[in-house]
Amino acid sequence: MKKWINKHIFIVYIMIAFGISWVGWFILILSDTESSFFNPWKLLAAFGPSIAGLIVIALHSGKTSLIKIWHSLINLRGIRWHWYLVSLIIPPAIMLAALGIHIAMGGSGLSFNDPAEIYRVIPIFFLVLIFSVLGEEIGWRGFALPWLQKRFTALQSSLILGLIWSVWHLPLFWIPGDFHQQLPLMWFLIQTVSITILYTWIFNATKGSLLIILLLHTASNTAFGVLPMLPEAASGSLRPAWILNILLVIAASLVIILNGSGTLAKHKPRQTFN
């Protein structure tokens, strides 16, 4: 049994991650009630990828790789300061640029939050980090991406992981009140694949820092929730979201052109698993 698991470890990971998350989400769908941020089924679903990642890492590589994952989450050494700026500032900057283009094209009706309540961004950031992003990245970038990059180029790995990540989110489009219901599936696919390429670039450029990826993912989700990117905050318009996607595709394309598809960065991918 262990030999079979080791041989098919990536499939086992996908089955566990999807199984945990989709059970939680389908319970919410079948109950047909809007879920709060701290709904236990929603939290279970959010942590599916990381729980699965820890399980397969323990089964496949044991304590040594688990220690490497832990160090990647907390290690501040060896990370140049500009990557912290990239992870925290670039996501809201790209979204603000999309909103600026939307306004320049005659767009109006954007519903910005009260500037006096800017302090709320900080607690929202940490809530998203602890109860959402941390539940994903130990799996996606802690296990899946290194495993894929051992076998494929960084670009191929990003495309595979981006498609898997997109499919993993699918039940959210049917959960009552979830913001995904406002977005077209094609938009979400393009967005997810594009940011996966960018995440791989930053992951490899920082020699496999999960800490930087956590900050990047959290900053992206926080900014998307705070800024008027969704139709409900843009007078029903999807144009800001589509402009954002165009900018993300351009950014991902530049990364590929400038760094090549092999590693998407100057450093070789971090190899944690055989």
pLDDT tens readout for residues 97-126: 999 999 999 988 888 776 666 778 899 999
Does the pLDDT of residue 273 top 60, yes or no? no
d(CA 156, CA 152): 6
Extract the tokens encoding 119.
């302090």
Does pLDDT of 274 surpass 60?
A: no
Quickly state the pLDDT bin for 228 (edges 50, 70, 90): very high
Which of 228, 227, 224, 219 minimizes the C-alpha distance to 125?
219
Q: Select the more confidently predicted residue: 231 or 34.
A: 231
pLDDT band at 54 (very low <50, low <70, confident <90, very high): very high
Residue type present at position 35 = S
Residue 1 predicted with pLDDT over 80: no
The arithmetic mean of pLDDT across residues 208-222, rounded, is: 96
> Reduced to 3 states, what is the DSSP secondary structure of residue 186?
helix
Residue 181 has pLDDT above 60, yes or no: yes
* pTM of the predicted structure, to 2 decimals: 0.94
Mean pLDDT of the chain: 91
Intra-chain end-to-end CA distance of the chain, in Å: 18
pLDDT at 35: 74
CB 99 within 8 A of CB 227: yes
Q: Which residues contact 156 (CB under 8 A, 6 or more apart)?
A: 148, 261
Handedness of CA 108, 111, 116, 122 (dihedral sign): negative
Q: What is the distance between the alpha carbons of residues 8 and 5, in angstroms, rounded to a whole number?
A: 5
